[in-house]
Structure 1
């Protein structure tokens, strides 16, 4: 698609990096402020969003094989409520090399989650204490005993603590996340797995590339000129 050639980036995370460089002080995210019992909204600029996801990506990277010694792709699942922590975790995972980010809907049954973890060969799962009892039951099975689980509501990954670092650049991020040049290989890299609803059977995983998401953005923009404007921001309604 000709429009993609003209883009200054070739990935979802590349788009965020570009926005952080070109308009760092513009609001990117509005989310329910936990300090006001979610009665008001707090905001993150593109630069702040980048800083936080950099810090989080570095923390997660400690539990992954070193990228320099392994070219094996790792599927990282994300099972948590749809809140600001969930969104930050998505982008942190997308930043990591050789990682495919796999968000799992919390409405799935235990059997469906087992099926998805097995089908996608998920080796690392980010979740919260709310879903830990179910995951621990799954881990009792032989095929899931090697599954690593990280709790997003633990002290190490506490989102509120990370939000306090929004204006602090992560100085070691370049040691974990290599600078990516724009190329066709990055366009066609599988970065996200989305699963079907599973209304009539087990949900099925769909493997999606950077190209898929960037093309869809152009399609929606061509259909609706108001699809995205320069002063738009992502609005999170709260936990779903």
Structure 2
């Protein structure tokens, strides 16, 4: 079969034990070479809040967020570091629109959310123009293929410049990008009582997007808000 990472053909070896145990074969849509290029955030000791590799307890970004938000609890989990391999994967998946690539991480994402049944999952939204151009919401598609249910409590403010086109300084200075999706909230009023919210994005860069989402969702008075992204 062809590797979804590099496109090269490779032989997939299926072990009898994997079949008997019902293990997912989705990760094997990558060849061994591409799999080795992926670096797990959990394989390094880094920032206590976001996982970024650093020598201090907190990375520079999280030190700045702590200064702004003081003692507010912040926990962000990511699966992989945003290295060259992940950057190329996102280029093909997110910007070239190859939706097949979402299946590469379905097993990993499903495993992360396996013990998150009591959390209300909220994906980062796209504005209408970007959704129309791309044809899909990359975060929602990742969750769908992993079998993770979510509720779109947020709406993107229309007409804002994409974060991917901005410098780090410009990202940090970005104005509030989200608003509550009142129509959806009206349908899920009972589920929103005493909830724990888990915000999901594709990539965590400076934390600006996640903190904007948290600021907006605080209006719903959740018990706690934490966040997750595929890459950091």
Per the normalisation by structure 1, the TM-score is 0.31
User: Which of the pair has the greater relative contact order for Cα pairs under 8 Å at 6+ separation?
Assistant: 1
Per the normalisation by structure 2, the TM-score is 0.32
Q: Which has the higher strand share?
A: 1
